[in-house]
Chain A
C-alpha cells in the first residue's frame, strides 16, 4: 500500500503523466465511441509510440486508453443502440430504451459515474491484493509455470463458442510463439528469414491479428452508424445521471465486486462481468422492469465491466496471462520494453507497476471530466463516416508496424497476419487464444526445457499440489465445455427428430 501511495507522489510530481492520462483517456473515449472501433484498437495504434517511452509512461498512457475505451463503448450503446465493444452489450438493454424516452443524457451520466466507481473499486482491489497474490506466485517453479500457461490457454479456450476451434487456435499461437531462437540456442521455424530470428515481432502480430480485422470489418460494412437518432445531451441531464448512481451505493459496490472477481478469471473479462452483473441484478430486483430503460440496468452493466479491469490487470501482472485483447496488447507493450511475462514481472518491476495503479486510480477522475465533454458531443462523434476513418487508421497501422524495427518486412508480416485474422473470424476460429499462445508459447517452451533439466521425468512436477490443482482446473476448463457442447448438440438433434 505504501508503494501505491508513493505512486501518487510520482504522478503528481511530473505533469507529463497527467498529459498522457488526458491524451490516453480522450483517445480511448473517442475510439470507443466510434461505432466499429474499440479502445483496444487505440492501444494497438499507440503501441509503436510506447516503444520510445519509459516503461511507466507507456503503462500510464496505454492504461488510460484502456480506461477511456471501456466507457466510450457505452456511449454508442446508449445513443445509437450499437455496442462499442462486447463489454457494452448489456448496457444497450436499458441504455437505449432510456434514449428512446428522451433520457440519453441521464443514461450517459449513469454510465459515466458507474464506470468511474467500478474502475475505482477495481483499482483498490488491484492495489490491495496484487502483492499477496504475487508473493504466492513466487513459489512457482518451472512445473507450476508450465501449468500456468496451460491453464491460461485452457481458460481462454473454454469460454469460446467452439472449444475445439479455440484450442486449435491457441496451439497454433504456441507454435508461432516458438519461432526464432530457443533457450537451447537453436534457431527454429524462420525459413532462413533473419527478421524472424528474435521470434515473431509483437507489434505486427498484435496489429495484424487484432486491429486489422476490426478495421477491415468496418470498411466492408461501409458505414459507421445508420442511426438518425439525435437525442440532445445536456450537462444537467448528465449530472442527474451521476445522482442516480450515488443514491444506489450498495448496488454499485456489489456489481463492482462481482466485476473484479470475474475479471480475475483469464478470458472472462469485461463482457462476461457485465452480463453476469446485469442478470444477477435482474434476479435480485424482481420488482424492477429490466430492459425497459431503468437506471439499475445501466449501472449494473457499467460498474461491473469497468471493475473487471482491476481483476484482469491483477492476473496480467501476477501470472502474466492476458485475459482480453486490450490486456494482451498491454502485455505486448511490456514485452517490447524488455519485461518478461510471468510472476517475476510484478516482483521485478513493483515500483513501476504500483505507480501505474496509482495512475489508474486518477484516470477514473480524468475519465469523469473527459467523459462529460464527450457526452456533450456524443451525438456528433458517433456519426463520423467510416470512409474517412478507414484510410486514416489503416495508414496509421502500416506505419506503426514499420516503426518498431524500421523494416518493411514487418508491414508484410502484419498484412499476412491481418489476412489470417480475417479468415479466422470468417471460419469461427477465435483470435484471442492465438494471441495468448503467441505471447506465452516461447515461455512454455523454455519452462518445458527447464522441467527436463530439473527433474528426472515430466510427471515429477505433479508432486507439487499447486501443479495438481492447476492441472485439474485446466482439464475441467477443457472438457466441461466440450461435454456440454456435445450434450446440447445431442439434445438439439433429438428435438429435430421429434419435430
Chain B
C-alpha cells in the first residue's frame, strides 16, 4: 500500500520541493515582489496536505477493491496479466522515447541538427517497432531533408551546425 501511495505522491512532492525553493528565494525580496508567490505557495501547501490525505484513503480503497477482485477466477487473472504485460511494454516505449529526446537535447549543439535528427528519428522508428530496412534507411533522410528545407531556408532558422559545420 505504501508503495502505491508514494507513487501517487511523487509528482506533487517534486512540485512542492520546487515551490519551496522558489519561496525561500523570494523571502529575500521586498514584500511587493514576493506577495503573490508567498500566497500561492501557502495555498499549494494546504492543497498538498489535503490531497495527500484524500489520496491515502483513495489508495486504501483501491487496494481493498483489488483484493476482492483477486479472489475471482484464474481465467480473469490470466487476462489481467496480459493487460499488465501490455502496460509494461507501453511504459518501456514511453521511457525509451523520453531517453531519445534527452539524448537529442544533449547532443544537438555538438553533433548538429542533421546528424542528431537522423540518429534520433532512426531510434524512434526502431522503438516504434519498424523493421523494414528501406523505411529505416529512407524515412529519416526524407524527414531531415524536409525539416531542413522548411526551417533553414523557409523560415531562415539558424539550425545548429555542430562539428560537421553544415
Contact = CB atoms under 8 A, between A and B. Distances in A.
A219 B97 CA distance: 8
Which secondary structure dominates chain A's binding surface?
Answer: helix
Nearest to A442: B36
A182 B125 contact: no
A448 B158 contact: no
- Specify the main secondary structure of chain B where it touches its partner: helix
B130 interface: yes
B159 A399 contact: yes
A452 B147 contact: no
A395 B30 contact: no
A255 interface: no
B29 A168 contact: no
Contacts of A182: 33
A164 B15 contact: no
A427 B105 contact: no
A148 interface: no
Contacts of B109: 408
Interface string A26-66: 00000000000000000000001100100000000000000
A116 interface: no
A169 to B, nearest CB: 9
A415 B101 contact: yes
A392 B44 CA distance: 38
A322 B116 CA distance: 36
A388 B11 contact: no
B157 A387 contact: no
A392 B143 contact: yes
A388 B139 contact: yes
B105 A178 contact: no
Nearest to A422: B94
A479 interface: no
B17 interface: no
A280 interface: no
Interface string B15-28: 10001001001100
Nearest to A401: B105
Interface in B23-50: 25-26, 29-30, 32-37, 40-41, 43-44, 47-48, 50
Given A219-B97, A427-B8, A189 B32 contact: no
A408 B98 contact: no
A418 B129 CA distance: 22
Interface string A166-201: 011001101100100010101011000000000000
Nearest to B57: A489
Contacts of B54: 164
A189 B22 CA distance: 6
Contact of B50 (A164, A444, A449): A164
Contact of A411 (B33, B41, B104): B104
Contacts of A406: 157-158
Interface in A412-431: 412, 415, 418-420, 422-424, 427, 429
A220 B94 contact: yes
B97 A175 contact: no
Interface of B: 8, 10-12, 15, 19, 22, 25-26, 29-30, 32-37, 40-41, 43-44, 47-48, 50-51, 54, 89-91, 93-94, 97-98, 101-102, 104-105, 108-109, 113, 117, 120-121, 124-125, 127-130, 135, 139-140, 143, 147, 151, 155, 157-160
Given A52-B155, A415-B104, A427-B8, 11 more contacts: A175-B22, A178-B37, A188-B37, A189-B26, A219-B93, A387-B130, A390-B128, A395-B124, A402-B108, A402-B160, A452-B35
Interface of A: 48-49, 52, 164-165, 167-168, 171-172, 174-175, 178, 182, 184, 186, 188-189, 216, 219-222, 386-388, 390-392, 394-396, 398-399, 402-403, 406, 408, 411-412, 415, 418-420, 422-424, 427, 429, 444-445, 448-449, 452
14 contacts: A172-B19, A174-B40, A175-B22, A175-B37, A178-B37, A188-B25, A219-B94, A220-B93, A386-B128, A391-B143, A403-B151, A411-B104, A422-B94, A423-B10
